[in-house]
Amino acid sequence: MHPHPCHHPLRALAAILMIAASGGLLAGQGVKLRVVASHERVFITQKVPRTTAKSLTLTACRNEWESAQVVATGMAAELGQLSFTFDRPTHVDGTSFPVPRLYWEYDVAVSKSSPNAPLPARLYPDALLPFSNGSQPDPQAFRGIRDEVNFRLWLDFKIPTGQPAGIYRCKCTLRNSATMAAVDEAEIIVMVLPETLPVRPSLRSFFGIGEHGIARMNQLDRNDDGIELARIMADYYQLMLDSRIEPGLVYATSAPIGDRGQIVWASAAGANLPAARETVRNYFGRKAFQSLHLPVWRDYPYADPLGEDRARAVRYMAALARLNQTAAPDARLFFSVGRLDEPDDKEAYQRVRQWAALVQDASALAETKISFFLTEQPEPQNPRWGTLVNSVDIWAPHVMWAWEDLESRSGKRDIAGRIAAGEEVWTYPALCQFRARWRKEKGMPDTLHDAFPPVWLTDYPAVHFRILPWICAAHGLTGIHYWNVHEWPESVDPWNDAGTFVIGNETFNGDGFLIYPPAPAALRHGLAKLPCPSIRLKWIRDGMEDYDHIALLKRKHPEKAAGIIATIARGFADWETSVSKIPQARISISKMLNQHPQHRRIPMR
């Protein structure tokens, strides 16, 4: 009988060295695994931040997403030999919920800083690509760096609606892919709160996304390839649903006029087009979209809707409103004229009034409310243009204009008046604008540490993307508008250049761009060709869910809700610049919602 070679000391040492040389036993011994909150950016080559730890606690309601990051730090060659495994989050009684949705973070270059950006030009972790549980890092995650790097995974936990409240633990294990030996571990603790967020978001939204560019990108014709385009658009809409934001206008809800003058609604308008009725039922009936933009344009379906075709345009809009309301009774119908975005002269104001009158006539004929939406503040920039009061139902001023009216010393407080009159006021962020009145009253802020109207640009802090719903709650604003989630110039590759919007010599990184197109084939490795979310989109989702939680408390205890809101945001120029204070505010909301005379703690198992 021959002894096993590893029973001999020299042979055993040789065997160990052979395994190590082939990426086996010793691989990964120098790698450290940590977890960190989702609002912390961990750059690819930075030293591991002090905010990382071996354990992280999250809090989430039922029907809520909550995120975390796992960071593995080591030499790129070592990291490539390791696999990451996540267990189901499990309660001590054995109850569990699904493994988090996993993504790996891809770095996109900010080559030229946005105006007044507080963060430097560098690689930013932003694009999120699918990652399979138990798999190894994609070599391209290291961006050609051979020294010590951070490999970052993004985790999205979705709490099921019926999940019992309690403490759940999710273990992440880093393994040597050759031997499957554990190299390091970290833990994420999820505290599931007793309350459930609503299916439909409490804060309304209208985030633009056009199918025209997506059709061109996929070499499709909107009419000849409508079924395929609708399938592709469904992937984008699902990302928006998951993020609790809405596109307003959904592809294939535009019902054409048939040969006999009838609206083609229940059946497909062509062999390769989906039926409008079924599309509306799907997105605004079965799913959670609720703000439905009626698809009428300045030249469709009639060439002159404000002139000789006005009567027909009114009848068409009224009939379309009735059909949409029947297909999706809970949908809230609205209308905007895209070419009248931010009207800026007397003629534009007059066209707004003409369109508003048409919508009011259609609404009366349909006997159903159609709200007229406009990206403008109630106070005109020039009094000679006249007023739009009694024309607009939903005002959406830029965040800086909203500050001027609501908070500046010379503000007229027209927004509060419109809200008191029963109209809605939303707001929208765009670019980075410090108007003359702000500079006169406030001066230029320290854009890293000061509070000012939020800026949704890549090289601005995470809190800007999450805080806006809190500001809306503080002022009674009921919605957020954003001009686009998927726009960039043809000269830019968004997978390698964050400069998605340029005016003159100024670059606004990430403006109008929250969803990436499908990743290049080299990054997908055979995975489905799907659009990818950005980390910035996840931060916006978190703010939308914060608002949902606030709304639950506001319905039950409005005074207490106001107090909680004030701990985070008092206005556009007065809010907490650290995201870390928000989770504690959310716990306070839960305590107030579940208070009983005999109990001061959240009921947990």
Please tell me the distance from the alpha carbon of residue 588 to that of residue 592, in angstroms, as a whole number. Answer: 6
Structure confidence at residue 602 (pLDDT): 65
The 10s digit of each residue's pLDDT in 542-565 is 999 999 999 999 999 999 999 999
Rounded Cα gap, residues 72 and 48, in angstroms: 9
Average pLDDT over residues 171-200: 94
The reported pTM is: 0.92
CA–CA separation, 240 and 515 (whole Å): 9
- In this structure, whether the domain defined by 28-196 belongs to CATH 2.60.40.3880 is answered with yes
* 3-state SS, residue 514: coil
What is the residue whose two structure tokens read 């633009």?
Answer: 208
Element (H or E) spanning 151, and its range? strand 148-158
> Mapping DSSP to helix (H, G, I), strand (E, B) and coil, where does residue 48 land?
coil
Average pLDDT over residues 336-359: 90
Q: For residue 9, name the pLDDT band (cuts at 50, 70, 90).
A: very low
Are 513 and 500 in contact by the 8 Å Cβ rule? The answer is yes
Lowest mean pLDDT among 85-99, 137-151, 235-249: 137-151
* 283 DSSP 8-state letter: I
Residue listed under structure tokens 């390698």: 496
Do you find a cis peptide bond into 301, omega within 30 degrees of 0?
A: yes
CA angle 133, 142, 156 (to 5 degrees): 35
Residue with tokens 């080591």: 74
260-296: pLDDT as tens digits? 888 999 888 777 888 999 999 999 988 789 999 998 8
CA dihedral 276, 242, 451, 393 (to 10 degrees): 20
State how far Cα 399 lies from the chain centre. 18
Could you tell me the CA-to-CA distances from 154 to 35, 103, 129, 205 in Å, in that order?
A: 10, 5, 9, 25
Q: Judge whether 378 and 477 are in contact, CB under 8 Å.
A: no
Q: Work out whether strand 424-427 and strand 479-482 pair parallel, antiparallel, or are unpaired.
A: parallel
